[in-house]
Amino acid sequence: MTDVSNETRFLHAIEMGLGAWQWGDRVYWSYGQTHNDDDLRAAFEVTLEQGIRFVDTAEVYGSGRSERLLGQYLKETEQPVLVATKFFPFPWRLTRNALPNALKGSLNRLGVENVDLYQIHSPSPILSTDTLMSGLVECVKRGWARTVGVSNFGQTRMLAAYSALARENIPLASNQVHYSLVSREVEKNGTLARCKELGIRLIAYSPLEKGMLTGKYTPDHLPPGIRAQQYVDLLKKIGPLIKLMTEIGQDHGGKTPGQIALNWCICKGTLPIPGAKNQLQAQENAGALGWKLTEEEIAKLDELTDVIHK
């Protein structure tokens, strides 16, 4: 087998990606109402134009529509794109063979022969970590996954996954977890530090806290749908943080709160994958690249978000 330990390096070279949960998802993200396929195509195109080449999807996003849309957009571009997708551990998936079988479906929808990263979406209620990892190993051996990772794995499970793969000489490339200025659990409980130590890329999902860190929502202007209830309490506390992010942004030539939130994730050594519903959002998010917050600014943001949590 080729030396796959080198293969995970590409993930460490990526500063930011694009999340594609919004692509085709009607239930949470109101696809078809707030955005359509043309908006998503434009978001994809502007993302590539800005030099961002890593797209994260999953078989369950829009029940396969996200992968299908990405497949369509991939056909329309000549540019190289790094594709990450995920296996969902439905309780009826009972054996390791479920992984290559599911990946085959993803590859068909994406219209590609292999993906750059294949992730377990979350721990399984049925399959052990060892069984899941042996399914991932099979995907690598068949040449269908360049690298493999996990998502929503706590530190203990992540270490078990790392060891199971290491026995097959395959590195655990990544752990995709919730991480943002107001969701810092993985930083506080040592998972991020452990990832850095072991060369596991921590991919930060919901880095804009599902839009709350852009500053466009307030207790008087709640987000639509499920997010209203989910975030009403946070929005009551977040005002001072948005104010600080706006002030810091002014010192960087007018960067927006959202760009500050994403840059903060990058400065912490993680790979944020903000979702975008349209060209404008994707363009703005790309403006998080090419500059860095100072140590002092990061310390101020950390201090304030510590207080918001209390």
Q: How far is the CB of 136 from ligand NAP (least distance, A)?
A: 16
Contact positions with ligand NAP (CB under 6 A) in 57-116: none
Pick one of 191, 209, 263, 264: the residue that binds ligand NAP (CB under 6 A).
209
- Tokens 């304030």, residue? 304
Helical (H) or strand (E) element with 58: none
61 a catalytic residue: yes
Residues paired with residue 141 on neighbouring β-strands, in sequence order: none
Asked if residue 206 binds ligand NAP (CB under 6 A), the reply is yes
Q: How many CA atoms lie within 13 A of 241 on its CB side?
A: 32
Active-site annotation holder among 61, 162, 205, 217? 61
Token representation of residue 60: 């369950």
Pick one of 154, 219, 223, 269: the residue that binds ligand NAP (CB under 6 A).
223
Pick one of 188, 216, 243, 292: the residue that binds ligand NAP (CB under 6 A).
216
Q: How far is the CB of 76 from ligand NAP (least distance, A)?
A: 20
**Rounded CA gap, 253 and 201, in Å?**
30
Residue 18: phi and psi, rounded to 5, are -130, 130
Asked if residue 39 binds ligand NAP (CB under 6 A), the reply is no
User: What is the DSSP track for 101-121?
Assistant: HHHHHHHHHHT-S-EEEEEE-
Asked if 29 and 42 touch (Cβ cutoff 8 Å), the reply is no
Q: How far is the CB of 114 from ligand NAP (least distance, A)?
A: 19
Q: Residue 240 CB: number of other CB atoms within 10 A? A: 11
Q: How far is the CB of 6 from ligand NAP (least distance, A)?
A: 25
Residue showing the smallest CB distance to ligand NAP in the complex: 19
- Tokens 């309780």, residue? 91
Q: How many CA atoms lie within 13 A of 303 on its CB side?
A: 7
Asked if residue 277 binds ligand NAP (CB under 6 A), the reply is yes
Q: How far is the CB of 202 from ligand NAP (least distance, A)?
A: 12
Is 10 or 28 the residue whose CB approaches ligand NAP more closely?
28
Catalytic residues: 61
Q: Which positions lie near ligand NAP, rule CB under 6 A?
A: 19-22, 29, 34, 56, 121, 151-152, 176, 205-211, 214, 216, 223, 258, 273-277, 281, 284-285
